[in-house]
Every structure is written in structure tokens, then in C-alpha cells.
Amino acid sequence: MAEPIIDVRNLWTQRGEQIIQRDLSLQVEAGEIIGLVGGSGSGKTTLLRVVIGLDAPQRGTVRLFGIDPLNAEREKRLAMQRRFGTLFQAGALFSALSVFDNVALPLRELRSLDKRLIRDLVMLKLHLVEIEARHVGKMPAELSGGMVKRVALARALALDPELLVLDEPTAGLDPDRSRSFVKLIQSLSLEQNLTVFMVTHDVDTLSTLANRVAVLAEGRIVADGPLQEVKRNKHPFIASFFATAEPLPDPN
């Protein structure tokens, strides 16, 4: 049996004296699109940061592509990092770099590609996310919220990752742009056979993208499965979340 892409076991995380997660376990298999939901302060982004190696857990194990992201040897860690791309909530573009240079950055860090190949790859990735060539010289401050998301997605896809990690991918977008962005991610995930680990609060995004939903509450995963199955769970947070969350209206 193939090893999970993400394998979190008996995880404990803590902020100061506050325990965020306790004895949490979660596995993500290749090809899955999993949506992680939870209330404010439940630790969704904390879990995401631990999974990709930005933060260390207090206890438990985290393996990404079979590798401990914090304790692996440098070469193994770098090779592992090239296998996933991350789209942060606000895009996290470098404000002093142009659209082109933001997307080119991970390619330049490889230090093995010539300038012409980097240019071709950057333009290809921007084309994939529907950013026109006339925008490549713009700075992030000149872009709309939707364009920032698309450029950040192009950067996340720059190294042809196997895993795409999304933190609230539609946050800050109006309904039309949100729907368009979700459809873009959906088509790219199918075309490139991506595994997707996504933190979101948006039911429309879940129903369109996710083939599996995990619910984080009380410091642990309280439900995990297909969306319709999870919605039938009687846990108080789940009942409240789906009672108050409204999907985006269908324009048709």
C-alpha cells in the first residue's frame, strides 16, 4: 500500500499555555482533495503550518511524502519542498517584486535553469491561471484581489508540485470571483492530477472541490468523510457550521 502524501499521527500543538490540538491524527492519500474546516481559533492554519514544516509540534509525528519536514537532512528536505506548492490566505506575494518575478522566484532558486527557460515556464504558469502577458510587469499593489490569488496560484504551481496546499483560497473575493477561482483550481487539479489539502470556511468551495471533508473541533478531528456524510454528523459544531453557512448563489 502506498504511503500517504500527508501523515499526521498523535499530534499535539500549543500556543503559550494553550493547547491547540491534542492527539490529532489525519492522513491524506495521493489524488485526494480534502477540505479542512473548523471554527475560529480551532487551529486550522496551525495544522497547515505544521504539515508543511513551518512550525514544530509539541508532540506527535508529521510526515510529508514520507519525510519529516523539520528533521530531515537538508537535501531530502529541499527535494520534499519542491513537491508541494502553497497558496496562503492573502496571497503572500512579495510586494517589491513584479508579477513575473514573484512566479520566477522558486524557479530561480533551483539555480539550474537558464533565463530563457525560466521566462517560458513563468509565462506558461501565468497562462494556466489566466493572467495575460500585459500584466507581468505589474507590482502586487496594482492588482485586484482576484489577480493576486491567481498570481499566487501560478507561483505555487511553478515547480509542477504533486501537492497543492491552500489556506482559505477564496477569502476576500466577491461571489463571482470566488466561483471563478474555485473552477480554476478544480480544472487545474484534474489536468495535473494534484493532491489538494485545503483550509476553508466556504461551503460552496467544499461542495465544488472536496471529495473529502475533515472537521477540526475540540482540538481533534471530530468527523472525516464525504461532505454529505459529514453534514449528517450530530456534533454541535458541525450542526452549527452547516446551519449558518450559506453556499454562493448559482448565477443560472
**Residue 7: band (very low, low, confident or very high) from pLDDT cuts 50, 70, 90:** very high
Q: For residue 248, what pLDDT is reported?
A: 43
Residues 166, 198: Cα–Cα separation, whole Å? 5
Distance CA(230)–CA(215), nearest Å, equals 8
Residue of 122 and 248 predicted with greater confidence: 122
> Please, what is the average pLDDT of the chain?
88
Task: Based on the fold, state whether residues 4 and 49 are members of the same structural domain.
Answer: yes
Q: Three-state DSSP class for 230?
A: helix
Kindly state whether residue 88 falls inside one of the protein's structural domains: no
228 lies in some domain: no
- Confirm if 21 and 43 have CB atoms less than 8 A apart: yes
pLDDT in tens, 157-192: 999 999 999 998 887 778 888 888 888 888 888 888
166 and 217 in a single domain? The answer is yes
Q: What is the pLDDT of residues 198-224, one digit of tens each?
A: 998 888 888 888 999 999 998 899 999
Query: Residue 146 has what pLDDT?
Result: 84
pTM: 0.87
**Residues whose CB is less than 8 angstroms from the CB of residue 216 and which lie 6 or more positions away in sequence, other chains included:** 21, 24, 36, 37, 38, 42, 43, 44, 47, 222
Residue 185: φ, ψ to 5°: -60, -40
Q: 106 lies in a domain?
A: yes
pLDDT for 245 = 57
Do 65 and 129 lie in a common domain?
no
| Domain housing 154 | 95-160
Q: Tell me the C-alpha distance between 54 and 97, whole Å.
A: 23
pLDDT of 100: 96
Domain count, the chain: 2
The closest of 199, 135, 144, 141 to 170, measured between CA atoms, is: 199
| Confidence class for position 34, pLDDT limits 50, 70, 90 | very high
Residues 147 and 28 in one domain: no
Do the bridges between strand 84-87 and strand 220-225 make them parallel or antiparallel, or are there none, so unpaired?
unpaired
